[in-house]
């Protein structure tokens, strides 16, 4: 007899999804994590960052209000008050997850897990036996090996700042770097964004990359493309950030954010003892999230798949159903949406133009529209919206949809079921939209 049918290692989005789904299928489940329930997304990622986005939105609305007759819309911003409010809401979310686990009979173990063998796990000063294991330990920020690098913060530290930075330098132009640069610049910080690429947001469609790159610059953010971090030195005046590449000067900052990506968090698991193979720093899995050890699965960011919270949740539920139902389940990654919560927002689903053109058997058409949303016409703010379709020229099926503009993330989700079922350009343009809205522009593309 085993102590548990299933041990889930990691109580983030993936682990919680796996644990609750397995418990709903009648399994005796434990979930182990020495950190807060909810993992990165709830405690130091997606959710608190979205609260910061909302805070920055109020600052933007104050500026825009003057164009709509509001004579004195300005107000005073209190960073510490916002921090306290966010912390209170996160505590409520954690308690909600704890209550759900308790209701389902899931045992919560507040210890780090270490494999002794595939079915025996050390948890602090005790050892438990388990029939199955799902590893969901997530990922951690990458820090380059440079002298003085400890002065650099990671995204998790940005929610605990004692005060707003005056001079913020961000290294890395992925979605984390782009979003934090936009948030803190809007809240009044002087922000410099350094990226090794020619345009920010590598991996996104090129038109989205260029649109957000120019938008951030228009909002006063200094962007240093094709530039890398060379050296760091700290003294009483602040952090001296030496650069190499297209920009080879030295910046002075009081806060340095390292947004250079994340890597699977496998430290301390002792995967060798469990017979779990690792490839290029990530746990190797098959289409059903099964590792090289048949009784052990891995899900979420500790594997080398799409590092997105909804994907992690889907993988968790699918792995649990594969283990504890009679219907093995795999996750399809073809139509997974993603978004960048800057102002304006960017949202994308399906193939980028470059991805589509990499398929030699397809002829590709592109439909693209740029316009200024109605909201900004009375103001001096420059806000260009973008709608782009990537289309199979022969069948007219839409292969990718890419948006830049207010509420782009909310707007794109309603199209996904139709896109999965082969939505064509004709079916889209024959649709009558709501007027006046930015969304109706999607139906006007040709």
Query: Is the Cβ–Cβ distance between 386 and 363 less than 8 Å?
Result: no
- Quote the CA–CA distance of 161 and 86 in Å, as a whole number: 13
Task: Catalogue the active-site residues.
Answer: 435
- HSE-up of residue 156 (Cα within 13 Å, Cβ side): 13
Q: How far is CA 162 from the centre of its chain?
A: 24
- Quote the CA–CA distance of 349 and 441 in Å, as a whole number: 17
Assigned token pair, 94: 């954690």
Assigned token pair, 52: 């910061």
Bridge pairing between strands 126-135 and 296-298:
parallel
- Polymer length of the chain: 446
User: Comparing C-alpha atoms, which of 204, 196, 250 is closest to residue 225?
Assistant: 196
- Quote the CA–CA distance of 274 and 292 in Å, as a whole number: 9
User: Comparing C-alpha atoms, which of 206, 437, 62 is closest to residue 214?
Assistant: 206
SS3 content of the chain, % helix, strand, coil (to 5): 35, 25, 40
DSSP 300-357: GGGBSS---HHHHHHHHHHHHHHHHSSS------TT--EEE-SSSEEEEEE--HHHHH
User: Comparing C-alpha atoms, which of 201, 176, 203 is closest to residue 352?
Assistant: 203
Bridge pairing between strands 282-283 and 278-279:
antiparallel
- Strands in 10-64 per DSSP E: 29-32
**275 dihedral zone (left: phi>0; alpha: psi -120 to 50; beta):** left
Assigned token pair, 272: 């060798």
């Amino acid at each position: 007899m085993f102590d548990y049918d299933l041990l889930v290692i990691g109580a983030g989005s993936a682990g919680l999804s796996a644990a609750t789904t397995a418990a709903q299928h009648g399994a005796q489940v434990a979930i182990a994590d020495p950190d807060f329930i909810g993992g990165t997304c709830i405690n130091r990622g997606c959710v608190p960052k979205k609260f910061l986005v909302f805070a920055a939105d109020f600052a933007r609305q104050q500026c825009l209000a003057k164009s709509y007759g509001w004579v004195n819309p300005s107000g005073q911003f209190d960073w510490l008050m916002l921090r306290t409010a966010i912390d209170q809401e996160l505590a409520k979310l954690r308690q909600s997850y704890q209550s759900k686990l308790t209701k389902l009979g899931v045992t919560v173990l507040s210890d780090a897990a270490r494999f002794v063998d595939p079915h025996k796990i050390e948890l602090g000063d005790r050892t438990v036996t388990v029939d199955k294991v799902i590893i969901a330990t997530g990922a951690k920020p990458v820090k380059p090996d440079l002298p003085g690098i400890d002065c650099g913060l990671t995204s998790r530290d940005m929610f605990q700042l004692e005060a707003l930075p005056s001079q913020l330098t961000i290294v890395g132009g992925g979605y984390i770097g782009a979003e934090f640069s936009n948030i803190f610049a809007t809240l009044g910080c002087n922000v410099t964004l350094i990226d090794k690429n020619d345009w920010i947001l590598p991996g996104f469609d090129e038109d989205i990359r260029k649109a957000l790159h120019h938008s951030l610059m228009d909002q006063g953010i200094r962007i240093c493309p094709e530039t890398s971090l060379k050296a760091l030195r700290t003294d009483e005046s602040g952090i001296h950030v030496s650069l190499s590449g297209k920009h080879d000067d030295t910046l002075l900052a009081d806060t340095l954010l390292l947004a250079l990506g994340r890597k699977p968090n496998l430290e301390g698991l002792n995967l060798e003892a469990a017979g779990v193979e690792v490839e290029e720093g990530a746990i190797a899995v098959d289409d059903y999230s099964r590792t090289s050890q048949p009784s052990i699965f891995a899900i979420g960011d500790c594997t080398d798949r799409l590092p997105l919270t909804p994907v992690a949740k889907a993988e968790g539920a699918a792995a649990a159903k594969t283990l504890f139902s009679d219907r093995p389940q795999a996750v399809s990654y073809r139509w997974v949406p993603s978004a960048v919560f800057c102002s304006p927002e960017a949202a994308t689903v399906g193939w980028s133009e470059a991805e589509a053109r990499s398929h030699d058997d397809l002829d590709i058409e592109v439909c693209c529209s740029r316009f200024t949303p109605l909201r900004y016409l009375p103001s001096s703010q420059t806000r260009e919206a973008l709608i782009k379709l990537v289309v199979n020229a022969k069948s007219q099926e839409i292969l990718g949809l890419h948006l830049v503009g207010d509420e782009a993330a909310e707007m794109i989700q309603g199209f996904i079921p139709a896109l999965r079922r082969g939505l064509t350009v004709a079916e889209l343009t024959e649709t009558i939209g709501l007027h006046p809205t930015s969304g109706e522009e999607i139906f006007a593309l040709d």
